[in-house]
Structure 1
């Protein structure tokens, strides 16, 4: 017998991708769950910085509800939470500690946490600076879904008391991310919100090569960059790039650059969604190095770079045939294993498979 699950998510944002990578992750996963036949509701805190930059106001794959305060969540959303088969709280939810306590008291089904920022979360927990999760709450969750795999899963169980830690990586929507007819206009591009711990790598792997190659064109898209950054004249700046424009953005690049936060490099096995998006668009990727990268992209499907010289060498020396062949290999890998639909199947399988005793129902993925 097949049961359609009633799943409720509480996340940072679904409606706005401005300044965060959570929205695109939730969109792909929830769309995949909807396609499997499950009923999905997303509860989002109504905050002005996302309300002013909403690029998905009325999703057709889930019910989107807003709440203003934790009190409103507790009162007006109680029935929604009580009736759910599964409730999933995401990382960086405003007043997350209070939200988790409210949800844990109301939830009658499986309670899960989806950590889209696992290395950051564990670092914050270690110094008691995490305002969206505290140590005592981790054992509340039937499953702790993590953006980081590898040894981090063992740490979650052994050091933080997770009852069950499972990887649930980011994913791509192939309907949105695909090759477009836009002509290539940049030799190397990068997309990402400003981060102090990524800026040194961005300087070394994009801005310095741009200064050394004034006849080549570069681009950086993303918000919150300080006004005192000196951008070379051949580096185009795009302040915000909504998801609807990502495919064209990647398609216009000969190569795209992936730069990883230091905490995620240290943890390893933490792929950025930008890797999957670029690959799905058929754009060759140059990435910094981190443990576990080869478990997602073997050397034949991606370039790695440690310094500006590596970037310059790739841009000057690689043939067009080799460039496109590498991109084709990456695209095939991503479309086979890293789509929102694939993640949705993984999510349901982890909840309903042999190890998932927390849901005492005869359920499975919808046909």
Structure 2
């Protein structure tokens, strides 16, 4: 009997984090699935300059297929390569030909092949579908064997079930301890508070409140902003803009400032239960994290002990003023212990493995019924 599963993954990019916030999530999950004996082929389009901004070579724990997205015919030929896989995943937000891929992967469904829709931005996807009864994905949701999400908890699960999903299970963000861990401080990232995130429409207003307003209230403190798209943003003079920070530098970015900040996108804060990748990256580096408040945080970390919580920029500033090195170290070490004990991608892959093995076990009976 074949050991492990052959998994085909259609998503944005495994090898580039350039304008691709899900890269760390994909890498952690795919590596952990490989370590459990599964074979993953990751199909990603040559788009958005990601191949020109790679931050890793093709890894030994996945086969990476970069395909041309110049025509629908080329995309369909790529999808056909996945025929016969035990699990086919269409992730949200590929960025090119998403509607085509969402339909095409369902043609691979059959005896021995499960097809899952994996939503890495469920709040945005659900808002879009609820706002447009003619959204093509709405009609396809009931046809997928399973919907997976990387956040959203019960509110997202119930929303997908309400759209006819057979089942919806959150597989939350987590830590890959082999890539995110404590390192020595880097003088480039010295400061009192750092925030790392791309400029996105439904995050910008919250960054203005939680980061830029806090910076304006702390004129004698050094603030660091990393991420793409902020170069023409008006900022207080004590903010240093770093531009895109490659993943190889994320550990140093998290380890060097007195504290780092998490600012959720508006839709994820509204749905709750959606810890961003940077939350676990920071915890894995034993950083002292200050996060905006969102429902469900207590499922992952203990507020006040393993993480500091703020409801607005004024509270962020108050936390930064009150933090000394000893207190920051204490919070960071507590978060580090918690994330290693409960929130690694090995934990998430074990959850997914149990879920998929259970479904594969009942599939023959369903097919013969």
TM-score (norm 2): 0.90
Q: Which residue of 1 is the match for residue 165 of structure 2?
A: 162
Change (3 A) 1:41 1:103: same
**138-147 vs 192-201, which moves further:** 192-201
Structure 2 counterpart of 1:231, from 225, 231, 235: 235
1:151 paired with 2:155, answer: yes
1:81·1:107 contact (CA, 8 Å) conserved in 2?
A: no
CA distance in 1, matches of 2:48, 2:206: 32
SS of 1:42's equivalent?
strand
Residue deviations 1:316-340 (CA, integer Å, cap 9, x gap): 2234333222211211111122222
Corresponding residue to 1:191 among 175, 191, 196: 196
CA distance in 2, matches of 1:143, 1:224: 35
- 1:80-131 deviations in Å (ceiling 9; x for gaps): 3222000011001221221122211123300001100000000111123997
Residue 219 of structure 1: aligned partner: 224
Matched, 1:113 2:114: no
Mapping of 1:298-313 within 5 angstroms? 298-299=302-303, 300-313=305-318
Name 1:210's counterpart in structure 2. 215
Determine the structure 1 residue equivalent to 2:85. Answer: 84
Q: Which residue of 1 aligns with 2:321?
A: 316
Distance 1:28 1:116 in 2: 14
Deviations 1:156-205 (A, max 9, x none): 11x21110100111222211111111157111010001023322222222
* Contact 1:221/1:239 (<8 A) preserved: yes
Q: Which moved more, 1:184-193 or 1:311-320?
A: 311-320
The 3 A distance-change label for structure 1 pair 77 and 98 is closer
Deviates more, 1:121-130 or 1:338-347: 121-130
Q: CA deviation at 1:211?
A: 2.6
Report the equivalent of 1:99.
101
Greater mean deviation of Cα atoms: 122-131 or 54-63 = 122-131
SS at match of 1:186: coil
Measured in 1, the distance between the counterparts of 2:134 and 2:230 equals: 24
Q: 2: distance between equivalents of 1:112 and 1:74?
A: 18
Match of 2:40 in 1: 40
Asked whether the equivalents of residues 258 and 275 of structure 1 are also in contact (C-alpha less than 8 Å), the reply is: yes
- The separation in 1 between residues aligned to 2:25 and 2:134, in whole angstroms, is 21
CA distance in 2, matches of 1:187, 1:169: 29
Q: 1:96 and 1:312 mapped to 2: Cα distance?
A: 41
- Give distance in 2, aligned partners of 1:327 and 1:75: 48
After TM superposition, give the deviation of residue 73 of structure 1 in Å: 3.3
C-alpha displacement of 1:215: 2.2
Length, aligned pairs only? 356
Specify whether residues 357 and 165 from structure 1 end up closer, same or farther in structure 2 by C-alpha distance, changes over 3 A only.
Answer: farther
Aligned to 2:247: 243
Q: CA deviation at 1:222?
A: 0.5
Which residue number in structure 2 is paired with residue 19 of structure 1? 19
| Backbone CA RMSD of aligned residues | 2.1
Unaligned runs of 5+ in 2: none
- More moved, 45-54 vs 165-174: 45-54
2:281 to 272, 277, 293: 277
- Return closer, same or farther for 1:318/1:15 CA change in 2, 3 Å cut-off: closer
Match of 1:65 in 2: 65
Instruction: Give the Å deviation of 1:360.
Output: 4.1
Of 115, 140, 143, 2:143 maps to 140
Q: In the alignment, which of 322, 332, 336 is matched to residue 331 of structure 1?
A: 336
Q: Which has the higher contact order (CA 8 A, sep 6+)?
A: 1
For residue 264 of structure 1, the aligned residue among 264, 268, 284 is 268
Is the deviation greater in 190-199 or in 4-13?
190-199
